[in-house]
Amino acid sequence: MQPKLFGTDGIRGTPGQEPLTPGSIRKIAAGYANLIRKIAHGKKNPSVVLGKDTRASCAMIEQAIAAGLTDVGVDVQLLGVLPTAAVACLTKHLKADGGIMISASHNPAEENGIKFFTQNGEKLSEKEEAFVENSLGARAERSRKGTVKAFAKAEAEYLAFLVESAGRPKLAGLNVVVDAANGTAYRAAGVFASLGAAATLINNKPDGSNINKDCGALNPQQLQKEVIATKASCGIAFDGDSDRLIMVDEKGNVINGDAIILALAKGMLRRGSLSNNAVVVTEYTNTAFDDELALAGVKTVRVQNGDKHVYAEMRKHGYSLGGEQSGHIIMGNNTAGDGILAAIHILALLKESGLPFSKLAEFTKKPQALINVEVKEKRELSSLSLTSAAIAEAEKQLPRLKGRSLIRYSGTQNMLRIMLEGNGKEEIKRLAEEIAAAAKKEIGA
C-alpha cells in the first residue's frame, strides 16, 4: 500500500529522497493537474501560479513541478520568492485555476515541501489530497503543451494588497525590529518602513541554507536582544514562508500566537469587525484564552491542529479571525495564515492605543509545558510501554490540577509533541518531562 503523501500542511521531505525526487514531483504535479482540471470542469489548459521560499532546493523542485504541469497542458506563472499567503492571494487575484508554494515553512533548510491551493486560494481538503494521490501517474488529455512565464509584478501586487487590506495605517513613531528568518519576508518586511515605522531588519540575507537557522519565529533569541538594545517598541519574527508571526514586547518577552490573536480579537471587537463575536483556535491554545474572551462576550471555537482546519471553520460560519498558538493567524477573507498582515494590524493597534506592547498583549495564561521530542519512527503510543505508562500517570494527576493533555506526532516532522496544561507549573513541567524522557528512551532519534 502506498504511504500517504500529505501531512498536516502539504507534502514534506528531504529533497532528492522520496517523495521529493524529480520523477515523483513530476507525477505529483500531474496528479494535481488532474484535480484542478476537474474543478475547472475539464478545462484543457488550466493555469497555475508557482511560488517558493529561499531554500537552495527550491530550484530543483520548481523545475520538476513546472515540467510535470506543462507536460499535461497546464500553463505556469512563476512568482519567485514570496510568502505562502501571497501565493494564496495571487491565485485568486490572477484568476488562476490553482496555486503551488514550495516551502517547508519552519523546518530546517535541508528539508522542503510543497503546498497546494485551489482556485479560491484554499488549501486542499483531505478528499482533494486523496484525489491527487490516486491520480499519480495518470495521463491527462491536453490540447497543447503548457507554457511557463515569470510574473514580474508578483511582489508589488502582494505588498499593495497588504497595505490596502490593513487599511493603510500610519505607523510613524513606532520603532520595530523585524526578523525575516532569512526566508520569504526578507524583502516584504520593508512594508513596515513604507507605512512610516522605523524598521530595523535582521536575518534578511538568505543564502539558500540559512533559512530559519538560529533565527525567526522558532528562534527569537537574537530578536529579543535586538529589541532591548535598540529600545524598540516591539519585535516581529516570521518563519521561512512568513505564515507564522511571533512577537517580542519592549521588555524582551516573547509573545506567542495566543496573546497576539487575543489582542487582535479585542481590537476587532471594539471596531465592530469581529464577525459573530467568535474566534477560532486549535487544541493547543491556552484555556485561559477562552476565559479572557468570555469576559468580553466573545465565544472561542476550537478545532483540530492545522491552519487549514481553522480556515475551514471560519469559512463555514463566516468568522473573521482565527489562528494557532504557533503564530498562524487568518484574518478577514484571507484563506491562509499571513504573518506580515497580522503584524501590520498589531502595529496599527499599538499606535492607536498608545500603550506599550507588553500592556497591549497582556495575558495571564494557565501553566503549560510544551516539549518536542525528535523520534526515529512514529509508532503507536499504546505500543510503547514506558511512554504509555508515563502518559497514564500524567492523566491520572491532571484532574486534580484541573488540567488537560495533548500528545501527538507532528504532521510535518519526525517529532512527538507533548503538551500538558494545568494548575501547578512545576508539577505540569515534571509530568511532561517524564513523558518526554520515556519517549526518548523508546523511540528517540
**CB of 311 closer than 8 Å to CB of 333:** no
Please provide residue 304's backbone torsions phi and psi, each rounded to the nearest 5 degrees.
-70, 160
The DSSP line for 93-126 is HTT-SEEEEE--TTS-TT-EEEEEE-TTSPBPPH
- The number of angstroms, rounded, from the C-alpha of 4 to the middle of its chain's C-alpha atoms is 21
**CB of 392 closer than 8 Å to CB of 86:** no
Cell representation of residue 272: 465592530
Candidates 34, 8, 5; CA nearest to 21 is 5
Catalytic residue among 57, 103, 105, 320: 105
**How far is 334 from 364, CA to CA, in rounded Å?**
29
Q: Which residues contact 153 (CB under 8 A, 6 or more apart)?
A: none
Verify whether residue 105 is a known catalytic residue.
Answer: yes
CA dihedral (101, 103, 105, 107) in degrees, to 10, reads 160
Catalytic positions, written as ranges: 105
